[in-house]
Amino acid sequence: MDKEKSVEELEGDRWPDPPPDSTNLVLSVHALRRRPIKDLAVEDLCRLIGQDVGLQWLMPVALDLLRETAPQESKTGWYDDDLLTAVLTRKGSLWRSRPEFARHLDGTVRILTDLSPYVQREVQSFRGLVSDLV
């Protein structure tokens, strides 16, 4: 994947400009789809993934980032992460179509310790969805 490209470029689908009275969420999702993937901040990934936008391209980036930061996060203790939650809460159809994503995330979650109760519930739900895939 070319991270110099935006989700919009990779999808080959240019969305029309949102109406002027659109919510901030709609405006930001439209703008973020046009930004090169390499320029997306963690918060941007959270927003797009949480809206199921560009998952084919953004999930590998998010999964790699979570895996990269997991060892350090587990050393510092309490772990409550918006990106992790955004990734964990995707629909079962994503994991079924891309079981390698499910295995990658499951391996990362196994590294983490001291997850907040909220994130622990999301991990349990995720594992229930993918138990036959990991």
Name the token pair of 44: 């941007």
User: 35 vs 70, which has greater pLDDT?
Assistant: 35
Residue 6 phi/psi, 5° resolution? -90, 165
Tens-digit pLDDT profile for residues 56-98: 999 999 999 999 988 777 666 555 588 999 999 999 999 999 9
Kindly state the average pLDDT of the residues 105-131: 92
- Is the separation of the CB atoms in 62 and 87 below 8 Å? yes
- As a whole number of angstroms, the distance between CA 125 and CA 131 comes to 10
Using the predicted structure, report yes or no on whether residue 40 has a pLDDT greater than 80.
Answer: yes
* Residue-averaged pLDDT of the chain: 92
Kindly state the average pLDDT of the residues 109-116: 85
SS3 track for the chain = CCCCCEHHHHHCCCCCCCCCCCCHHHHHHHHHHCCEHHHCCHHHHHHHHHCCCCHHHHHHHHHHHHHHHHHHHHHHCCECCHHHHHHHCCCHHHHHHCHHHHHHHHHHHHHCCCECHHHHHHHHHHHHHHCCCC
Question: Which pLDDT does position 31 carry in this prediction?
Answer: 97
